[in-house]
Amino acid sequence: MEPPKKEIRLFQLTILSWFKSNARQFQWRALGLSIYQIVISEVLLQRTKAETVSKNYDIFFKRYPDWNSLNNSNICDIENLLFPFGLYRQRAQRLKALAKAMVENNVLLPNERSLIEKIPLMGQYIANAVELLVFKRNIPLLDVNMARVLERYFGPRKLKDIRFDPYLKFLSREVVDHIKSKEINWAILDFAALICQSRKPKCPICVFQKTCQYHLKIYNLDLDGHQE
DNA sequence: AATGCGGGGTT
DNA sequence: AACCCAGCATT
């Protein structure tokens, strides 16, 4: 029941085309970021709007430019800087544990996936981000947003938890298995934020109208509604 | 599998 | 007032 390669190709071409004229610009999408900047950016982005992170991004990195400065700080200072991001008490604790682990490991990331996931705060999503952005592998940034876009377009998952759903895992890997893997990943996140929003998706201006399962379903329901 | 974390913006 | 946001750790 997996979508044919042809459908995947069409989705890739369309989202890349859309991305060309609609990409969002963020500090963490600049070229030549350090591993520290890449990892911390992903931590800040957890359950937090990209715009919120962007607004407070420079203040955080000016105060804590590297693993050592973060490791040498106290929890209270980190909390104060994290306050505008939300989840600040929990993230301050975990960030410091992460910095400590990195310093103890000579500020190096292991190459292997199973070892990456042993580091504090490196869950399924951030491990994927590390593989994509640091090691340049074709790996999906599978979060609630990518899940929503893929499920609306290709059809819903079975399991409740995104991280363990085999259908979504397979589908997301197929979709970003492309020479422009990073661009497709960012394109899907931007598309999710700007068009395929959780609550009020902008189907009327969406480039996927003809082939999106979600739109076709809504469209048919709408026709039924007007028939009486 | 379910729950807590959290300020800030949107509906 | 309710909902949502580039998740993770703990139970």
- Other beta carbons within 10 angstroms of residue A188's beta carbon come to 29
Amino acid at A17: S
Fold of A5-194: Endonuclease III; domain 1 (1.10.340)
Which distant-in-sequence residues (6+ apart) come within 8 Å of A154 by Cβ?
Answer: A3, A7, A11, A171, A213
Q: What percent of chain A shows pLDDT beyond 90?
A: 86
Report the distance from CA of residue A193 to the C1' of nucleotide B11 in Å, as an integer: 15
- Quick one: pLDDT at residue A1? 60
Tell me how far apart the alpha carbons of residues A72 and A86 are, in angstroms, rounded to a whole number: 22
Q: Is the pLDDT of residue A97 over 80?
A: yes
Give the start-to-end residue ranges of the domains of chain A: 5-194
Work out if A158's Cβ lies within 7 angstroms of strand B.
Answer: no
pLDDT for A36-51, tens place per residue? Answer: 999 999 999 999 999 9
Tell me how far apart the alpha carbons of residues A63 and A47 are, in angstroms, rounded to a whole number: 22
Q: Which nucleotide is nearest to A192 (CA to C1')?
A: C6
pLDDT for A137-160, tens place per residue? Answer: 999 999 999 999 999 999 988 787
Q: Which nucleotide is nearest to A147 (CA to C1')?
A: C6
Work out if A90's Cβ lies within 7 angstroms of strand C.
Answer: yes
Give how far the C-alpha of residue A48 lies from the chain's centroid of Cα atoms, to the nearest Å. Answer: 11
Q: Is the pLDDT of residue A62 over 70?
A: yes
Work out if A55's Cβ lies within 7 angstroms of strand C.
Answer: no
Report the distance from CA of residue A186 to the C1' of nucleotide B9 in Å, as an integer: 22
- Residue A148 contacts residue A196 (beta carbons within 8 Å): yes
- Quick one: pLDDT at residue A182? 97
Q: Which nucleotide is nearest to A93 (CA to C1')?
A: C9
Work out if A125's Cβ lies within 7 angstroms of strand C.
Answer: yes
Report the distance from CA of residue A227 to the C1' of nucleotide C6 in Å, as an integer: 42
Work out if A199's Cβ lies within 7 angstroms of strand B.
Answer: yes
Average pLDDT over residues A172-198: 96
